[in-house]
C-alpha cells in the first residue's frame, strides 16, 4: 500500500493543487493529513474543502485549533496571529465545526501520525533537538511516526543500539527493529531554504520512504495574500522558503 503524507498546507491552495496533482502522478492508496490546513495563506475554506474530499486520516495542527478557539493565540508571533484572526473571521460555520472536531493524533496499522510531538501533542512542542527526539521516541506507540509542524523535513532514526541520529536524506529504507520519526515538511510554507512544496510517500510493501518536492504557482498565492490584506511578510517568505 502506498501512503501519501501531507502537512502544513496553511491555506495555500496553489501549493495544495500542485501536491494533489503530484500524488495523482505517483499514485497513492491512502492520503494522510498531519495538521495545519489553515493559517498564513488566503484560501482557508477552499483548502479545508479540498482536503476533506481526498483524505483518509486527518489530525489537528496548532493553527487549526487556534483558528477555532481551541488553542490560545497569544503565543503566536504577530504575523501568525494577524493571519489567525483573519482566518477565524473567514471560516464558514461548517468548516469551523470541522476543524474543532479534528483529533490530535491518528494511527493506521503500525504507523502513528501527530502534528507536533508524540508526547502531549497539545503543547505544540517541536522535535528540533535530540532531547525532544529522545522524549518523542519514548512516547511513540509505534516504530514509525510521521510529524509536521516545523516545516523542515528531517528523519530521526533510533537504531537497534538505541542510538538516535538526525538524517537529512530525502529517501530512506524503513528497517524492521529500527524506529523512525519522520518530518515530512510543509505543503504551503516550506522553511528549509527550499521554496518548493514538500510531502512524503511511504510504501508499506517495499518499506521505502521518499520526500517529494513540487513547484507550484507561487506568484498567485502571494498575490492573494496581499489582496486579502494579510501581512506582506507572509507573501515574501514563500519565495525565500523559510
Residues 6+ apart with CB under 8 A from 146: 5, 32, 34, 111, 112, 113, 114, 181, 182, 183, 184, 200, 202
Q: Which is nearer to Zn ion, 8 or 192 (CB)?
A: 8
Q: From the CB of 205, what's the least distance to Zn ion, in Å?
A: 31
Residues in touch with Zn ion (CB under 5 A): 8, 36
Q: From the CB of 61, what's the least distance to Zn ion, in Å?
A: 6
CA gap 222, 212 in Å, rounded: 22
Q: Which is nearer to Zn ion, 12 or 22 (CB)?
A: 12
Cell 488553542 belongs to 71
Q: From the CB of 229, what's the least distance to Zn ion, in Å?
A: 21
Residues 6+ apart with CB under 8 A from 75: none
Q: Which is nearer to Zn ion, 66 or 133 (CB)?
A: 66
Q: Which is nearer to Zn ion, 157 or 238 (CB)?
A: 238
Q: From the CB of 100, what's the least distance to Zn ion, in Å?
A: 18
Amino acid at each position: 500500500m502506498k501512503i501519501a503524507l501531507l502537512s502544513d498546507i496553511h491555506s495555500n491552495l496553489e501549493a495544495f493543487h500542485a501536491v494533489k496533482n503530484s500524488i495523482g502522478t505517483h499514485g497513492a492508496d491512502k492520503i494522510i493529513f498531519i495538521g495545519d490546513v489553515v493559517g498564513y495563506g488566503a484560501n482557508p475554506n477552499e483548502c479545508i474543502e479540498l482536503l476533506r474530499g481526498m483524505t483518509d486520516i486527518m489530525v489537528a495542527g496548532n493553527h487549526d485549533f487556534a483558528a477555532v478557539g481551541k488553542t490560545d493565540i497569544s503565543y503566536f508571533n504577530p504575523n501568525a496571529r494577524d493571519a489567525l484572526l483573519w482566518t477565524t473571521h473567514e471560516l464558514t460555520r461548517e468548516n469551523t465545526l470541522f476543524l474543532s472536531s479534528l483529533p490530535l493524533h491518528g494511527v493506521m496499522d503500525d504507523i502513528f501520525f501527530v502534528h507536533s510531538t508524540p508526547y502531549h501533542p497539545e503543547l505544540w512542542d517541536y522535535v528540533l533537538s535530540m532531547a525532544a527526539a529522545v522524549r518523542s521516541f519514548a512516547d511513540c506507540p509505534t516504530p514509525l511516526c510521521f510529524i509536521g509542524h516545523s516545516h523542515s523535513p528531517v528523519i530521526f532514526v533510533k537504531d537497534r543500539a538505541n542510538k538516535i541520529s538526525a538524517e537529512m536524506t530525502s529517501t530512506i529504507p524503513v528497517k524492521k527493529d529500527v524506529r523512525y520519526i519522520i518530518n515530512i515538511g510543509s505543503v504551503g510554507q516550506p522553511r528549509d531554504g527550499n521554496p518548493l512544496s514538500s510531502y512524503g510517500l511511504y510504501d508499506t510493501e517495499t518499506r521505502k520512504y521518499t520526500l517529494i518536492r513540487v513547484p507550484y504557482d507561487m506568484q498567485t498565492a502571494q498575490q492573494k495574500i496581499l489582496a486579502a490584506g494579510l501581512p506582506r511578510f507572509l507573501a515574501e517568505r514563500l519565495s525565500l522558503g523559510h
